Structure 1
């Protein structure tokens, strides 16, 4: 039984003659050659930065939403056209091949979903690439604290307070204190993703909830009570059939 030998070849500015001979050699031994067509963080960074701004937003929103973003969430005026964005996502993959960022055969990381005839219902980022693209967008400094928390909330669901928020963001490589955590929770509540959970705050007296909720018992003014707020994820009604 032959052992596998891994050989990585990197050639800067190869001549056309060299390219042709190398490709011919690889073609001759195609059955024994594995072409690396996996999306890495480095490749995801190149892909993301090569996109126009509107297409970047599609990838970022799909990443935050754990792999799928409905088209309606991308239309700022509720009736904007998404025409052309799908082509930009496809061209970025082709551009990467031309620029030798990755080999031919790379599967598109994100694809439009819809009934056809140019209509788009949403965009689907391959589930196994969500973590890769999250790391890539964070690496170039374009993933905000709120973006990171929204992704954690959508993935984790359930009840959220400052304590859980601080821990979840720490796991994503983002450091915030309790005060900032409460601000971020309030932002997501304003966007409709979270709703204040009064029942859980009241249950704190029986020791059934988190530390932040229990602290609300002794709050002496409205500000302290708001600071100890507990939130619950609202129903997320998205068509995820493509995932």
Structure 2
């Protein structure tokens, strides 16, 4: 049997998947590992300020967060740990059952291709489809604050 649930609230879909899993021991229940607005909102709320700012800058930059904006006015701020904090928050969300295993990071570091040695991040890229999802999540958060 195949059951497809579309456009249902995230919490309802998780409850239905858990119910099916309890009653059909031989069936496998999988959830897609795509970012949705509720998932993105939960991630943003679970991030430290600096990591959240990285995602916000990527959204505000239509998919690009330039390193110089993240490093501060004098350009000396470190970007260390920001993407790691996102990875840890994604892992916490998986363990807590907020989303399935295998959720990708919404941002990826970009490096200067002309520098073959030590790579300093020049910015972070976010896929176009994720910009829309995370923008909606930011709007929800900003309305509730």
TM-score normalized with structure 1 length: 0.47
Structure 1 regions of 5+ residues with no counterpart? 143-243
> 1:5 maps to what in 2?
3
**How many equivalent pairs are there?**
128
Matched, 1:64 2:64: no
Cα–Cα, structure 1 residues 140 and 9, in superposed 2: closer, same or farther, change >3 Å?
A: closer
Q: Give the root-mean-square deviation of aligned CA atoms.
A: 2.8
> Displaced runs of 4+ in structure 1, greater than 6 A?
none
Q: Write the distance in 1 (CA, Å) between the matches of 2:82 and 2:50.
A: 7
Q: Answer 1 or 2: higher relative contact order, Cα 8 Å, separation at least 6.
A: 2
Per-residue displacement from partner, 1:8-52 (whole Å, max 9, x unpaired)? 4517xx9xxx9xx85x94xx545xx54221211111000011000
Structure 2 regions of 5+ residues with no counterpart? 6-12
TM-score normalized with structure 2 length: 0.75
Per-residue displacement from partner, 1:86-132 (whole Å, max 9, x unpaired)? 21011111111011110112121112222685632211112211011
> 1:79 maps to what in 2?
76
> 1:46 maps to what in 2?
42
Contact 1:83 1:118 in 2 (8 A): no
Larger Rg: 1
User: SS of 1:139's equivalent?
Assistant: helix
Shift of 1:79: 1.3
